[in-house]
Amino acid sequence: AQSVTQLDSHVSVSEGTPVLLRCNYSSSYSPSLFWYVQHPNKGLQLLLKYTSAATLVKGINGFEAEFKKSETSFHLTKPSAHMSDAAEYFCVVTAYNFNKFYFGSGTKLNVKP
Amino acid sequence: EAGVAQSPRYKIIEKRQSVAFWCNPISGHATLYWYQQILGQGPKLLIQFQNNGVVDDSQLPKDRFSAERLKGVDSTLKIQPAKLEDSAVYLCASSLGSGIQETQYFGPGTRLLVL
């Protein structure tokens, strides 16, 4: 069975400091993993995805994530937060068949000036 | 390239009324998904179509929810009758295929409030 645990429901950082959003997954198969961002009243936007190629994945807006199979983790990082990064972030794991997405419960990122 | 379109964006109804949501996926995308996102939770898949056939509706409350995708393009999700707990954002997404590496592209959602 597939599942995702986002370890922090809220994260608050100061502008210009690093961001770390944590995600652990459970999967019966070699998974695909995604991070999506949701700004208020906007649709979900893909940040990056891991699909069994390089374990360090670079995405849009300076975000990256590292797939660690031994730790079953896929944490999202960014070296320097920007005010525009304030949003909710979802980690997603897919099932083997029919690309069924399993979403985490989300992490709300607050960026302080 | 146009994204996934949804309408209406907002809907307020009384309990026991019916409501319908419409989705137009990205052109050429064979797979279409409807999700329910309750406040404070991640989206939950309700139903997945491959062209105009259903491949997964295991979490669709079939006594009150129905969905169709005629001609393998647009889709409609209906709730009849609505309950208070149906208050949520209903998201439509589409992908080119249904392979495990496919990216899903999401529409802006329809925010439903049931009073």
Residue A52: both structure tokens together: 């069994």
CA distance, residue B29 to nearest chain A CA (Å): 14
Taking residues B88-115, report their average pLDDT.
Answer: 91
Domain edges within chain A: 3-112
**Is residue B50 in a domain?**
yes
In a domain, B112, yes or no: no
Inside any domain, residue B47: yes
> Tens of pLDDT along A29-88?
778 899 999 998 788 999 999 987 788 999 999 999 999 989 999 999 999 999 999 999
Q: Which residues share a beta bridge with A15?
A: none
The pLDDT of residue A97? 64
Closest C-alpha among B28, B29, B113 to residue A99: B29
Q: Is residue B31 in a domain? A: yes
- Domain, as residue range, for B62: 5-98
Assigned domain for B107 exists: no
For residue A60, what are the contacts with CB-CB under 8 A and spacing of at least 6? A46, A47, A48
Q: Give B97 to chain A, closest Cα distance, Å.
A: 9
Q: Which helix (H) or strand (E) holds A33?
A: strand A33-38
From the list B41, B104, B109, the residue facing A101 with the nearest CB is B104
The residues, any chain, with a CB within 8 Å of residue A72's CB and separated by 6 or more, are A24, A25, A26, A27
Q: Does residue A99 carry a pLDDT above 80? A: no
pLDDT of B81? 96
Classify residue B66: in a domain, yes or no: yes
Partner-chain residue, chosen from B55, B91, B107, that has the shortest CB–CB distance to A98: B55
The CATH architecture one would assign to domain A3-112 is Sandwich (2.60)
Under DSSP, is residue A40 helix (H, G, I), strand (E, B) or coil? coil
Q: What CATH number is attached to the domain comprising B62?
A: 2.60.40.10
Chain A residues near residue B107 by CB distance under 8 angstroms: 43
pLDDT of residue A41: 77
| Lookup result for tokens 């209406």 | B8
Domain count, chain B: 1
For tokens 């972030």, name the residue. A89
